Chain A
Amino acid sequence: MAKKKDQEITFAPKGIGDEKDGAVQKGVDLPAPTKKKHKALGLSEEDLKAMYEQMYLQRRFEERAMQQYQKGKFGGFLHLYIGQEAVSTGTVFALNDDDDIITAYRDHGWGLCRGISANEGMAELFGKKTGCSKGKGGSMHFAKTENHFWGGYGIVGGHIPIGGGLAFANKYNDNGRISTCFFGDGAVDQGALHETFNMSQLWKLPVIYVVENNGYSMGTAAKRHTVAEIVDRAKGYGMKSAVVNGMDVFSVYEKMNEIAEDVRKNSEPWFVEIRTYRYRGHSMSDPQKYRTKEELEEYQKIDPIERLKTYLKDNKILSDDEIQEINDKIEQEVLDAVEFADNSDFPDESELYDDMFVEDDPYFHI
């Protein structure tokens, strides 16, 4: 029997423009933010100010980093976190200082949140010896292990088992610490996630796996790269799960706080989908043709920093002038960091062989 040939064969859903009908397409649908006010969440006014400072620092740090990159001050990839600051900030405020955090290559915000100074961060971007990883890691490999920030990792999904391993060690040592492992929505299609989820549930590891679903796996919209709802990955493993509004720092704080407490108490893993949005491209080389300007604008209307700023003003916690003062202080801090990075030395060439056993093996030096 002859085959009917009434349809073109394709293997992937179409990109932008297929469901528009005049409406703005959205990469991710956000759940409603929490209605609780800061006191009900256990946050003081000082906490709120610190949250605002932290988010604003991440934003300005990256905006200046982008400028310096465009000026050719450093090379490599530069994946900006802009738009997602509520996720790192809400989480870090919800965790204990000795809980572990590991993330992927979009890691500047996480590093700053976990005690990498603007100076150390900018210097790392510039590849200087004063950087947090002595200039050997660069943008994708920030780390500060003394503050339990285990770093940024450059292989999509590759650090998910390592996040499980951090939790394994905490359980083994019975030290009450929990681990959190952050990754983008692109990582949910990797086998590493599934293998690790299985063992985490089987072994009851004290760990929270968090997908920062910003709607795009590089340039491929979530609906084009993965089936069903991402959070439902947890179901197959009987794992506890939640969906969180990642454009609202209170929502992230509230949920991560509750979950961290549950993990600490029960030593059972969670899978959390924090829905958020990145304003910039996947990296600086991304022309962003896979999304519309209108979509971006929709999310910018609910900017996490602006949202907190409005809350601070509406609740008379900070005045416009006080906010401006904070902004100016942080702007200066970031400008100083650029100067610091610029003026710092590159690592000495002899340091090429440091931090690896080959330093004792002259036959394999160049």
Chain B
Amino acid sequence: MAELQFREAIRDAIDEEMARDEKVFIMGEEVAEYNGAYKVTEGLLDKYGFKRVIDTPISELGFAGIGVGAAMNGLRPIVEFMTFNFAVLAADQIINHASKAGYMTGGQITCPMVFRGPNASAGQLGATHSVAFDSTYAHFPGLKVIYVSEPDDAKGLMKAAIRDDNPVLFMESEQMYGMKGEVSDEEDYIIPIGKGKIKREGSDVTIVAHGKMYHVAKQAAAQLEKDGVECEIIDPRTVKPLDLPLIIDSIKKTNRCVVVDEAHPFAGFAAEIGFLIQREAFDYLDAPVQRVTLPDVNAPFAKNLFDAWLPDAKNVIDAVNQVTYRN
């Protein structure tokens, strides 16, 4: 096992796939000569040249669409967005074209590509740079959505995403690029898309958390352990397709559930998980499913307001206390 930063794990995955398959290339703003806005693509230009590591103008709609056309015509593009907030400009290409071309032509077209970049909030970036889009895109059929929480998942799932024949949205967190973690040094390490992981075993409550919120949940679980509450943490890793059986099995064991989600509450990931649990495991629940999300409010700038806005370990502990009736 090697200890790698998030950005290194993603880079290794891209590098290995580019070396393996010359149809894989990466394009986006500042990915080449600047070595990546967050240094994910550092060194790739030197290794693969200007044909396969391509700087684009600030034209998200245009270059995302060029990626879609290139994917249809046999290549395997990785399109980097400097943040998924900017990818909203390219939403037409992702939602109306990449996700639909295959279905509406009766399977004649495939669109094997990855859209990747930082998702959700970083520190005090204000309202336009702080939105979590994983459940938004998961709403639309034909798109796979991954939001990873640890470098190991990033490596294995990025390689799977590049090899997948569907358009995959691969979400990262700007605040996590420097975070280190053990990464498998197994050759050609692939984690199948759609398989979650029990990241902490416990018997009292199931916490479902992915992306940056996994770390918040982990922090909360460590504190709750001191109070004698054993949390089981499930990281679904991929929002879609979703490993629901893993979550349901855990709830059958713990009988309680808290979903921690970095997005807004309405019609989001946490709402969906809550619904699915009540449908699939109602008889096993000892308390209503609780969710911890952002409020239905845009991201504020002021430090104190920002901290109040973003879910933290205390919010998770409060929710666990509610479902375990410990208040």
Contacts and interface: CB of A to CB of B under 8 A. Distances in A.
B134 to A, nearest CB: 16
Interface stretch (B67-75, B228-236, B310-318): B67-75
Contacts of B70: 165-166, 168-169, 172
Interface stretch (B8-16, B30-38, B97-105, B178-186): B97-105
B51 interface: yes
Given A145-B105, A151-B101, A162 B69 contact: yes
B276 interface: yes
Contacts of B51: 172
A73 interface: no
Interface stretch (A216-224, A319-327, A351-359): A351-359
B69 A145 contact: no
Contact of A199 (B66, B72, B103): B66
Interface in A97-119: 100, 102
A129 to B, nearest CB: 9
Contacts of A357: 142, 144, 166, 241
B109 A165 contact: no
B108 A133 contact: yes
A172 B102 CA distance: 22
Interface stretch (A153-161, A251-259, A285-293): A153-161
Contacts of A136: 103-106
Nearest to B279: A363
Q: Kindly state the interface size class of chain A when it binds its partner.
A: 35 or more
A192 B72 contact: no
Interface in A189-209: 191-192, 195-196, 198-199, 202
Interface residues of B, number: 42
Given A163-B69, A172-B25, A363-B242, A192 B105 contact: no
A214 to B, nearest CB: 23
A168 B66 contact: yes
B20 to A, nearest CB: 17
Contacts of A355: 102-103, 106-107
A143 B108 contact: yes
B105 A151 contact: yes
B131 interface: no
B240 to A, nearest CB: 8
Interface in B46-99: 51, 56-57, 59, 61-75, 92-93, 96-97
Contacts of A343: none
Contacts of A161: 61-66, 68-69, 93
B105 A133 contact: yes
A167 B96 CA distance: 20
Given A150-B72, A166-B73, A172-B51, A143 B105 contact: yes
Contacts of B75: 168-169, 172-173
Among B61, B68, B75, which residue has the most Cβ atoms of chain A within 10 A?
A: B61
B281 interface: no
Given A160-B65, A161-B64, A161-B69, 16 more contacts: A137-B105, A143-B108, A143-B109, A144-B108, A151-B105, A162-B65, A164-B66, A168-B69, A169-B73, A169-B75, A192-B92, A195-B59, A356-B142, A357-B142, A357-B166, A363-B244
Interface of A: 100, 102, 131-137, 141, 143-146, 150-151, 153-155, 158-170, 172-173, 191-192, 195-196, 198-199, 202, 354-358, 360-361, 363
11 contacts: A136-B103, A137-B106, A141-B104, A143-B105, A143-B109, A155-B92, A161-B61, A172-B70, A173-B75, A363-B276, A363-B280
Nearest 5 Cβ contacts at the A-B interface: A165-B69, A161-B65, A195-B62, A134-B106, A169-B73
